[in-house]
Chains A and B, each alone.
Chain A
Amino acid sequence: MVTVIETDVVVVGGGLAGVSAARQAAESGVRVVLLDKARAGTSGTAAFSAGEMLCWIPGRDSLEDWVQAYLEAGEGLNSRAWLTMFFEGQYRIVERLASQGFPFLTDASGNFARRSGRGPLVRCVLAPMMTFQEKNRQACASLGVKILDRFCAVEVLMHRGEPAGVAGFGVRDGEVAAVLAPSVIISTGGCSYRGPFFGQDAVAGEGMAMALGAGARLAYMEYGNNYDVSLARFDTCGESRLTIHGGRYLNGLGQAFLEKEGFQDHRVSGNELARAMVEEVRAGRGCIYIDLSGFKERRLADELTPNLKMALDRGGVNLFADRQEVIPAFTGASNASPAGIWIDRKARTSVAGIFAAGDCACKGLVTGACVGITGVSLAWANYTGHLAGKSAAAYAAEAGGQQARFEAEDLAGRLVYPLGRNLGRRPGEILRDLGEEMARVDVSLIRSGARLVDTLGRVSTWRWELENLSGAKDLHDLMIWYEARSALTVAEATLLAAVERRESRGGHYREDYPSMNPEFQYVLGVEEINGVKCVRPVGEVGVTGGGGGRN
């Protein structure tokens, strides 16, 4: 038995991008359904974030300086047109949200409070994201958006090459449903392989896998290797930002190694920082510690991430007095990773009717090859969320209420087939193995062709095991089964693109090709053709304008 719901726009994933897209689409006057496998608004990484949102402000910043700094950091893989549109558009949206009462912090004169961060030229407005997202959700509800929490989306339904909607199941009640709509927005966040850090358990690449399965193109996948910094004893993530305001990293000999390497300036990105940490360990000077005795913004840090303060207090740790051991924190193709679904300047994917936003859309269009810029992820989710909402509503309005055709047939049986099977390991065990493998710095940070191929072999074995043996013991486990399958797809796309890029550029470093090769100054796309993943150039971003590609 399949429940069928008809609407104009269906939004899959309710993080910052998804809730913003749903609100924007509803404001345009169309019917909207918002799905989340957990709770829309407060489940994804957005609600856990430190609330630093990149924001260029006219009159305070030079647009040309910003664009230039990001073009330099992007190393030839981002576009001027995208950057200009992103900076200007993001500011307009932030200003409008502030006027609607969204909780941005202000300074003594009532202007947006901002702070700097890691990356080429970073100034972020600040917002407590839990409160922000709760308000975002309430705004959706009051605009009539139908919110379905605990609904795990599994596939985009296609009919004759066009999207007909989305199918999935209720994680609590097991009800299989098809939400039919001419416009589908995918905003399920990135892929951190259900990583072990705050907020990462909701993002395993489902949107990217769904889009690929529906015929859309992924891009910048070799840059699906974001590292930040975590306290070794806690599940925290994002500590790289603490060094901006007086914190320091020390090696096992007590040396401030970033300063030694000439990295004291804030322009070093998260991945460059992680590589410096690894080189210390490799040279036998590990472990790595963070020393925050000189940290200047403790009150603000506590205000923006109260849960981090709780964890530390409960552990009896005074982060600002005692040195703490830190490790590189792998979050893969999520957070400040450029990887994701290819979109054009209207947030359209390469399949008409499917739109993408947030971490699952490729932010390489603005970051280029630079992995780990503070604040860019929330800004990207905010900006592309609004963009996708507007474009999807216009597309649905053009469809004029014409509902795409769909036959429920064997949907229920097809979606829940792993349930009750008990031939192999649990999906969660396979996903954990995959996550550990991808997090290894000798696989994802300091790469070599041979090691990448080796890992690809392991990934295909795990895929075979999952699809042929592994079963789900209940509905929660079934959700993890789909997460594991999606994460395997993202891993394959990431590894294949990393094998193909036979050079080093930005956050992609190959020991066997340690220099940049000008012949590789193009974006790599990944598509599925006859069930086989193919990696090929999408076009020079600067030349095509970064959005057109081969749409």
Chain B
Amino acid sequence: MANLASDFIGIKSPNPFWLASAPPTDKEYNVRRAFEAGWGGVVWKTLGSEGPPVVNVNGPRYGAIWGADRRLLGLNNIELITDRSLEVNLREIKSVKRDYPDRALIISLMVPCDEDSWSDILKRIEDTGADGVELNFGCPHGMAERGMGAAVGQVPEYIEMVTRWVKKHSRMPCIVKLTPNITDVRKPAEAALRGGADAVSLINTINSITSVDLDDFAPEPTIDGKGTHGGYCGPAVKPIALNMVAEIARNPETANLPMSGIGGVTTWRDAAEFMALGAGNVQVCTAAMTYGFKVVQEMISGLSDYMDRKGFTSTSELVGRAVPNVTDWQYLNLNYVTKAKIDEDACIKCGRCYAACEDTSHQAIDMSEDRVFSVKDEECVACNLCVNVCPIEGCITMERVAPGQLDQRTGKVVPEEYGNWLEHPNNPGNTCAAE
């Protein structure tokens, strides 16, 4: 079994699977059970300033999207930060950390946007024994209206300023949690780095309305006839989160900024993908909220088996391995030509590829009287739609047309050499080829 031990900005944990700051980490009872189940670390549910805690709604706070068999695909919430008193939380954190010294315990914080508030809270948590702080600049609902959470996270200058305060008033490692509700995630990441952050974590939840009740004409979840946007998370958000992680990883300015990957991590494979794109570890919320703490056992065995298969002895060998292969569209090799190929023996003759290609793409699939489906190489642009809609995995494959061979569609021989848009004669910005 591969060694999954993780060192994230100096914070050690037996594995790279942390629970994200959320209900699973809202109290001692939960966190102890999480550690017993095998989680490597937790980011404690976000704490606010001293004084009366926030209150949550008393109607439904979650909404969801399901597959036909009620598999939960996406979750949305309008929960706020912890609604328990600061004193109780701090006492519990201290007691848990004392009993689980080998696990990572990070405290998530969100207080008003002034230096005193931050220096106060940092003082209060100093003697808990916690391993670090995470600044919640991401919460998209409820707190933003009060000038916290996403209201800070959407303004890079504020991120930088607050991060600077935190580094000034505390020696703890500092992770800045980013909101995805912005246009370019590199900007807040750069700001965090400038402010002195040791790492960023992303993504927090995405502004969302899960559905609308078409009888009451109210968004879900509905409270007394009204609803509000919530934060979206779970499997549905993973592709968005992966891209944001990759954007930061390949941005020269932030390339060395450690990241904790969050957003839809449900299986070991999701975790490995985040890590391959540069995340040093991952945080999980919805998968635990859906299936309970035990899911971590599958993540541990799956990642470990994968690493054994690959011959990786440490998770650091996986981290960032896919980053060099993430590029801009303009650098993609236009001389790489493929054609769809249908395996007639595997084909069950549903005709989906035909309908998709015929109706919405390039009329490149032929359907015979007796339902034999085949690709017309002279029409196929290799868009991959048929592969994506075919219900049989591996039935349609993309086969490369080797350099030197004729591309039936263009009537041209496939060039040997790499050639991208920048060099393409159709590119108006390309002066040399236009001669």
Q: Is chain B a partner of chain A in the same complex?
A: no
**Chain B residues packing against A (C-beta within 8 Å):** none
**Chain A residues packing against B (C-beta within 8 Å):** none
